[in-house]
Amino acid sequence: MTPIQAAMIEAALLGAVGGLISVQVVVRRLPFFTLAMTHATFPGVVLAALAGLNLYLGAGAFGVLIVLGVLLLSRRPDHDTTTAIGIVLSGGFALGVVLMSSRDGFTKDLTAYTVGQILTVGPPDLIAVAAVGLLVTALLVVAGPRLSFRAFDPVGYAAAGHRPALLDLALLLTIEAVIVVAVPAVGAILAVAVLVAPAAIARLWTHNIVAMTVLAVLAAVGCGVAGVWISTRYDVAAGGTITVATGVAFAASLLATAGSRVNLRRPPAPSRRGPPPRE
């Protein structure tokens, strides 16, 4: 298997996994949380690298701690989550940078962790992504309907006797697992593109959650493979190219669906600004 083939397979697998989970991220309105998690996972990656541990184990263990912390914080009724997330995000990232800067070869490694190096992935990375893919699939098969119920009617979900905290924990841990396997390929900063953009693209074409998931997976796999191909053809950073490809796909979908049936079926969203008061 040549590095480019491995990178292609990694991009396709990661696209499929990211596409599957991204629908949950978007319907639960977790993009900012995901962004914070990607940044906060970064010191875990650095610590694992410094201690010579397995990257996935180190980052995964650190990530679990962060998930638990965020869950605890978000249970406080008086908490403004965006500020708390912003603090976790910048703190985690700075910690990672300080840890890295104490070491030789600082800038090169830092680049690998922030924007990824998909051309260096090997069979262990592919196996890790595939394993997380199974985890995501299992979650969606076992708890898919419940996740939708919880997303669209949280009060009803609790009233029906389910335990939202347990389901949230499962979802957040799964998201963290996807982040951990995405970091070597696309880096800590761009991982959020894998976890949000596919569903944002699919959301423009359909309202059906199953169709959305299928579309998201297709879009993500396509963008991943196209990104790797373009990056090797023109010798540019692969993680960046994959992300730009998803951005272009989003923009194209936006233009293609402008004024289409899907958007007209709903009344326009109430403008937050509202019409100016009549004199």
Partner 1 sequence: MNAAYQLLIEPFRYPFMTRALMELLMLGALAGTVGVLILLRRLAFMTDALTHTVFPGVVIGYLLAGEGGIFAGALVAGMATALLLTALTRHPAVSEDAALAVLLTSFFAVGVVLVSRESGYTADLTAFLFGRILTVTSGQLVQTFAVAGAVLVVLAVLRRPLLVTTFDRIGAQAAGYRVGLLDLVTNGIVALVVVASVRAVGTMLVIALLIVPAATGRVLSDRLPVIAVAAALLGASAGWIGLAVSYDVSLHHGLRLASGATVVLVLIAVYGVALGGGAVWRQLAGRRAAHPGSVHEASVMTGDVGVR
Footprint of partner 1 (CB under 8 A): 26, 29, 31-32, 34-35, 78-80, 82-87, 89-91, 93-95, 97-98, 100-102, 106-108, 110-111, 114-115, 189-190, 192-193, 196-197, 199-200, 203-204, 235-237, 239-244, 246-248, 250, 254, 257, 262-263, 266, 268-269, 271, 273-274, 276-277
Residue with Cβ nearer partner 1 (153 or 166): 153
Rounded to a whole number of angstroms, the minimum distance from the CB of residue 107 to partner 1 is 4
Rounded to a whole number of angstroms, the minimum distance from the CB of residue 100 to partner 1 is 8
Question: 108: how many CB neighbours lie within 10 A of its CB?
Answer: 9
Tallying the residues shown for the chain, one arrives at 279
Q: How far apart are CA 24 and CA 145, in angstroms?
A: 11
Q: How far apart are CA 25 and CA 38, in angstroms?
A: 13
Q: How far apart are CA 223 and CA 221, in angstroms?
A: 6
The backbone region for 235, taken as left when phi is positive above 0, alpha when psi lies in -120 to 50, beta otherwise, is: left
Residue with Cβ nearer partner 1 (155 or 255): 255
Rounded to a whole number of angstroms, the minimum distance from the CB of residue 159 to partner 1 is 25
Q: State whether residue 268 is helix, strand or coil.
A: coil
Q: How far apart are the first and last CA of the chain?
A: 72
Of the candidates 55, 36, 42, the residue with the CA atom closest to the CA atom of residue 100: 42
Residue with Cβ nearer partner 1 (2 or 102): 102
Residue with Cβ nearer partner 1 (162 or 206): 206
Rounded to a whole number of angstroms, the minimum distance from the CB of residue 246 to partner 1 is 7
Residue with Cβ nearer partner 1 (129 or 219): 219
